[in-house]
Amino acid sequence: MLPPDTIFAPATGYGRTAVAVVRISGPQAGPALAALIRASLPSARRLSLRTLREPGTGELLDHALVAWLPGPGTATGEDMVELHLHGGPAVRAAVLRSLAALPGLVPAEAGAFTRRAFLNGRMDLTAVEGLADLIDAETEAQRRQAVRQLDGVLGRAVERWRETLLDVLAGTEAALDFSDEGDVDDEALAASGRVAAASVRDEIRAALADGRRGERLRDGFTVVLAGAPNAGKSTLLNALARRDVAIVSEVPGTTRDAIEVRCDLGGLPVLLVDTAGLRETNDAIEVEGVARSRRRIEQADLVLWLREPGGDAPPPLSAPVRVVATKRDLPGDATGEDIAISARTGEGLDRLLAEIERNAAASLGSGDALVTRERQRLALEACERQLDRVVTHGGTLPAELVAEDLRLAVRALGEVAGRVGVEEMLDRLFAGFCIGK
């Protein structure tokens, strides 16, 4: 096979910065650096001050710190170069033009560096997903969860389970191959295999029995503000967001569509959703707004039912509900409500935020979930089903069927780490990465 192209891209953001880092990876990384500095390569794995020149004309480009990183002990597993340039956009653009003119060099696509790291065995798929989550992390809990995945907490568990099952599979196949040998105790070998399979199955079950905290932490805890028109939903959303994100009016039915605000409560991601007031109406647009409100309420992790003085109690809802008495700066009875607030004066808002944070923490955890993506969960569930079949029926099934169940279980674990059957998913995953990552 022909060697892959050498890729290059800026690894820092665009705009005016103190330092701009450009990364190069591939077989032509070393020659590209030599062409820019017009000299032999500097000492490996050390930052060296060099003058960069346009390879064709010799024009001065920049005085920069450069690092020559020979593979395979690099982030991508290939020869790599880093150029630490002055951060002006013109400097970066001039260096990128010079690299593009060199033979064998092409601009990197989104996620190209991380994809090479995966393909060269420097990262497994769970670590790649952890890196993607770390880039997108907005809260402390999301950062903590992503770092755990990037550090390999799930990858190591999956590899340990896989090694155990490979040993069980080897023993099962050995019993098949030597079933006519008198010194092979087939029953004892099968029984010990079922014990080991049960141990792995139970560990996977424990990992899956987490209330989907990992996936939910990535998406955030959804709190829907619901109630009758003019109950104070938009006013409360503006107060919690500390900015005017929703129009506030005394005219009923002002809010027609859901308005979302993301916030960080105690390091947890919370999505606040303002919805149209629930009432019967002949306005076609408001009817659609009410229908959307009902759908958002059904999908909510927590519903705050806002009730102004004299307002109605909430109808039966599938999501957990907290009744919030609004407009406490006005006269009225607050009996029956969980929390009483005034968005105008700030009364009760601290208590309301504490209640939301408590519910979010109970639902999302603190970033300690082992499974963080639906893809991982589906593969582990498939593995658990195969192992349960081995443990439950392995004593009565033919050894050939037990071996096939074990092979399917091992394959499912391979899908978690990215060993098999993930080609289409890789394209979608890496497309979400930054250029230069």
DSSP sequence for 119-167: HTTSS-HHHHHHHHHHHH--SHHHHHHHHHHHTTHHHHHHHHHHHHHHH
DSSP, collapsed to helix, strand or coil, labels residue 61 as strand
In angstroms, the CA 192 to CA 174 distance is: 14
Residue 258 within a domain? yes
Sign of dihedral through CA atoms 371, 373, 374, 379?
Answer: negative
- Show Cβ contacts of residue 182 under 8 Å, excluding neighbours closer than 6 positions: none
DSSP H or E stretch at residue 275: none
> Domain check: are 181 and 283 in the same one?
no
Same domain, 276 and 292: yes
pLDDT at residue 302 in the model: 93
pLDDT at residue 4, as a whole number? 80
Asked whether residue 14 is domain-assigned, the answer is yes
H or E stretch covering 194: helix 186-208
Residues 226 and 338 in one domain: yes
Assigned domain for 431 exists: no
Q: What is the pLDDT of residue 248?
A: 54
In the block, which residue shows the tokens 């039915």? 253
The alpha carbon dihedral of 341, 345, 350, 356 has a sign of positive
Residue 437 domain-assigned? no
DSSP 316: P
Determine the pLDDT at residue 177.
61
Exposed / middle / buried, residue 174 (Cβ in 10 Å: 0-12, 13-18, 19+) = middle
> Is the omega angle on the peptide bond into residue 107 within 30 degrees of 0, that is, cis?
no
> Which pLDDT does position 242 carry in this prediction?
78
Q: Is residue 428 part of a domain?
A: no
Q: Write the CATH number for 319.
A: 3.40.50.300
The answer on 312 and 267 residing in a single domain is: yes
Query: CA–CA separation, 96 vs 436, rounded Å?
Result: 12
Length of the chain: 437
Indicate whether 137 and 188 sit together in one domain: yes
Q: Which of 69, 88, 119 is a domain's end point? A: 119
- Asked if residue 422 belongs to a domain, the reply is no
Whichever domain contains 190, its CATH number is 1.20.120.430
Considering the entire predicted model, what is its pTM? 0.81
Count of domains forming the chain: 3
Structure tokens at 155: 């990858």
Q: What is the CATH number of the domain that holds 113?
A: 3.30.1360.120
Domain stops at, among 328, 347, 364: 364
Task: Identify whether residues 101 and 163 lie together within a single domain.
Answer: no
In a domain, 1, yes or no: no
CA dist 335 and 25 (Å) reads: 67
Side chain identity at 404, as an amino acid letter? E
My answer on whether 51 and 107 are in the same domain is: yes
Report the 10 Å Cβ neighbour count for 61.
Answer: 20
> What is d(CA 292, CA 258) in angstroms, rounded to the nearest whole number?
7
Same domain, 270 and 145: no
Q: Do 272 and 402 belong to one domain?
A: no
107 and 144, same domain (yes or no): no
Residues 319 and 241 in one domain: yes
Domain that holds residue 398: 126-210+371-417
Please say whether the beta carbons of 274 and 237 come within 8 A: yes
Look at residue 424 and tell me if it is in a domain.
no
Which of 91, 119, 147 is the last residue before a domain boundary? 119
d(CA 288, CA 298): 16
Q: Which residue has the tokens 């008495």?
A: 325
pLDDT for position 198: 93
pLDDT tens for each residue of the chain, 437 residues long: 445 899 999 999 888 889 999 999 999 999 999 999 999 999 999 999 999 999 999 999 999 999 999 999 999 999 999 999 999 999 999 999 999 999 999 999 989 999 999 999 999 999 999 999 999 999 999 999 999 999 999 999 999 999 999 888 888 877 776 555 555 455 666 778 889 999 999 999 999 998 899 998 988 999 999 888 888 888 888 888 777 665 555 545 555 567 888 888 888 999 998 887 776 666 666 667 777 778 888 889 999 998 888 777 888 888 899 998 888 777 665 555 578 888 888 888 899 999 999 999 999 988 889 999 999 999 999 999 999 999 988 677 788 888 899 999 999 999 998 877 556 556 656 666 677 77
- State both tokens at 340: 């009483």
Q: Are residues 339 and 400 in the same domain?
A: no
204 contact partners, CB below 8 Å, separation of at least 6: 161, 380, 383, 384, 387
pLDDT at 188: 64
Q: State how far the Cα of 403 lies from the Cα of 176, in Å rounded to an integer.
A: 9
End-to-end CA distance of the chain: 25
- pLDDT score of 2: 45
